[in-house]
A and B are shown apart, each in its own frame.
Chain A
Amino acid sequence: DAKTTQPTSMDCAEGRAANLPCNHSTISGNEYVYWYRQIHSQGPQYIIHGLKNNETNEMASLIITEDRKSSTLILPHATLRDTAVYYCIVRVVGGGSNYKLTFGKGTLLTVNP
């Protein structure tokens, strides 16, 4: 699976949009971008995933650049409960031994009142 690079930490004001970047410059054509987050003392929580089109669900939006070398997770109106470590993961979907999730160190997002 391709390697990802994320900033170590970010701050965001409550009520504002949080934009979390991820670089995955070696991504292959059949690799998806997944985002998980982990709130303190909880297990990782699935947020969203995408291949090349932008995706939106009730939690967040995922914007993937046209060359697919980077992406941004957007939390449109951050709340204090969104304070967590956010992990960007790239994985192949469809066959093989690609079921493993390879977590990096992620980005610690702190939402401030």
Chain B
Amino acid sequence: GAGVSQSPRYKVAKRGQDVALRCDPISGHVSLFWYQQALGQGPEFLTYFQNEAQLDKSGLPSDRFFAERPEGSVSTLKIQRTQQEDSAVYLCASSLGTDQPQHFGDGTRLSIL
């Protein structure tokens, strides 16, 4: 069956450029999450949506990070004026509800040169 799909799988950008990362959750999943995973570390929470509402953005590292889910399905994570420390794998997860297991995509590996 269709899982969580993320695109692109790899993104290389120059420092200072803006990037947009896309997440297609599992159909019907109300909850959507973004995580950031640095090399050799476990994923860390960035933000959470319930349908189109962004209920928690406490994990976003700076105001250069912005996420949206305008129609309650596809979500985009945007990073403005990228910095080298933004290099990481960005993971998207979705679930039927907050009490249900989260299912992850394979992530977007972002490299900032």
Contact = CB atoms under 8 A, between A and B. Distances in A.
Interface of A: 34, 41-46, 49, 87, 93-94, 97-106
Contacts of B56: 97, 99-100
Given A43-B91, A93-B99, A97-B56, A102 B104 contact: no
29 contacts: A42-B106, A42-B107, A43-B91, A43-B93, A43-B104, A43-B105, A43-B107, A44-B93, A46-B101, A49-B101, A87-B42, A93-B99, A94-B99, A97-B56, A98-B98, A99-B33, A99-B48, A99-B98, A100-B48, A100-B56, A101-B33, A101-B43, A101-B93, A101-B102, A102-B45, A103-B43, A103-B44, A105-B40, A105-B42
B104 A99 contact: no
A45 B106 CA distance: 10
| Size range of the chain B interface in the assembly | 20 to 34
Interface centre among B4, B33, B93, B98 (most CB of A within 10 A): B98
A44 B4 CA distance: 11
Interface of B: 4, 31, 33, 35, 40-45, 48, 56, 59, 91, 93, 98-99, 101-107
